[in-house]
Chain A
Amino acid sequence: GQQLNQSPQSMFIQEGEDVSMNCTSSSIFNTWLWYKQDPGEGPVLLIALYKAGELTSNGRLTAQFGITRKDSFLNISASIPSDVGIYFCAGQVGRQGAQKLVFGQGTRLTINP
């Protein structure tokens, strides 16, 4: 089945630094999604990407849908303490009405003040 390889698994950075994480797969996805999960909560959608090559920003977050449709990256600029959490990439597969998500393993972000 489809698998997403997300890296890095964890990051320890200083406040104000930029962050970059990515997901790769041997399979093609028709949509890439990036989520953030805080403790005790469900994942919250950060950015959705629908077309190969698409580059989308949401405030300090920027994500791109790889041209091959097999990869995506998420960048966070000028990190702040509330960026702490676990970030997941997810790829959508399947036709309309039978679609489903496959998740990466997650990137745990820790910020030192």
Chain B
Amino acid sequence: SAVISQKPSRDICQRGTSLTIQCQVDSQVTMMFWYRQQPGQSLTLIATANQGSEATYESGFVIDKFPISRPNLTFSTLTVSNMSPEDSSIYLCSVPGSRGGYTFGSGTRLTVV
């Protein structure tokens, strides 16, 4: 399975600022996914990021709030813009596994104060 490195692992940010989360994969993948996991909750898909095309956002998530870059087949970033305390969550990236299933990064734990 792919190995995913996600940075930062955690951060405490002031409201109104933005944070960019990086996801690096050790192999080339067409599809990358970004999830949000609010405290004590399950995972919710934010968007699908395919290299060479615009990210596809799920209902309730918009590009202005969560801009995504996908410059190549091994890297993606998710920015959480104009943050508020409600954005405090764990943000995870994920890629399809070579033998099925999906592999997840260890997540970025964001606290907005």
A and B associate: yes
- A19 to chain B: closest CB distance in Å? 19
Could you tell me if B104 and A40 are in contact, using CB atoms closer than 8 angstroms?
no
Tell me the residues in window 53-110 of chain B with beta carbons closer than 8 Å to chain A beta carbons: 58-59, 92, 94, 96-97, 99-107, 109
Cα A106 to Cα B107 in complex, Å, equals: 17
Q: What's the tally of chain B residues with a CB closer than 8 Å to chain A?
A: 28
Q: Tell yes or no: A65 within 8 A of B by CB.
A: no
Could you tell me if B100 and A42 are in contact, using CB atoms closer than 8 angstroms?
no
Cα A1 to Cα B61 in complex, Å, equals: 15
- B6, B30, B102: the one contacting A45 at CB < 8 Å is B102
Q: Tell yes or no: B43 within 8 A of A by CB.
A: yes
Cα A40 to Cα B41 in complex, Å, equals: 14
Which chain B positions have C-beta within 8 A of A97? 30-31
A45-B97, A45-B101 known; A100+B106 contact, CB < 8 A: no
Could you tell me if B107 and A33 are in contact, using CB atoms closer than 8 angstroms?
no
Find the residue from A42, A99, A105 having the highest chain B CB count within 10 A.
A42
Which chain A positions have C-beta within 8 A of B102? 33, 45, 90, 101
**13 contacts across the A-B interface (CB closer than 8 A):** A33-B101, A33-B102, A40-B106, A40-B107, A41-B106, A42-B94, A42-B104, A48-B99, A88-B42, A90-B43, A100-B45, A101-B33, A101-B94
